[in-house]
Amino acid sequence: MSLTEVDRRLLDRCLAREPGAWKDFVDRFIGLFVHVVGHTAQVRDIPLQHSDVEDICAEIFLTLVAEDFAVLRRFRRKCSLATYLTVIARRIAVRELTRRRMAEAMGHVTAHHPGSGATEPPPVERVANKEEVEHLLNALPPKDADIVRQYHLEGKSYREISSGTGVPINTVGSTLSRAREKLRQREHR
């Protein structure tokens, strides 16, 4: 199957950073990524919580936007965009599921039980400029803004945020990573 005209235009819009293009891209492919993550976990007999699927999908999207959409820029357009993205999503899902399984095997508690001794992901660098954080908070959904505020302005740890909000530690990390990426994108405009 070859690249459709709809996907070619969407890809070109994203790479040109047209307003609304990334949202359209996410809307178009989130279902595919959820399916790939679920299927990959099922084949490997790894049970997932909804928050785990969200975390892995967030990791897929972060990979796609990293380094100015480097993964999307490498797409040769010789197959459908969905086929290419399925391969990328599967690789990331396998990597994340393997990492989680290894953490559990080493005696760590999985991250979907806040306050249960879950290991924290590596912390996101705190933003020193409080004005930047305030601008970012206005651009985020309320739940994400609360996590960013607690981390960057109140200096709370992932564990403290997780136990206070009931959000899994890995989701706290993913939320902060996404917010940091949004901040970087705003700086490059």
Mean pLDDT of 164-174: 82
Mean pLDDT, the chain, whole residue set: 81
**Which pLDDT score, from 0 to 100, does residue 16 have?**
95
Q: Which residue has the tokens 């609304």?
A: 20
Give the CATH number of domain 130-187; options: 1.20.1090.10, 1.10.10.10, 3.30.930.10, 1.10.940.10: 1.10.10.10
For the segment 108-152, what is each residue's pLDDT rounded down to a tens digit? 444 444 433 444 455 555 555 566 667 777 777 888 888 888 877
**Which pLDDT score, from 0 to 100, does residue 110 have?**
42
pLDDT over threshold 80, residue 24: yes
**Which pLDDT score, from 0 to 100, does residue 111 have?**
42
Share of the chain above pLDDT 70, in %: 80
Mean pLDDT of 60-85: 92
Task: For residue 188, count other CB atoms closer than 10 A to its CB.
Answer: 8
Domain locations along the chain:
5-105, 130-187
pLDDT over threshold 60, residue 107: no
* CATH number of this structure's domain 5-105: 1.10.1740.10
Is the separation of the CB atoms in 38 and 46 below 8 Å?
Answer: no
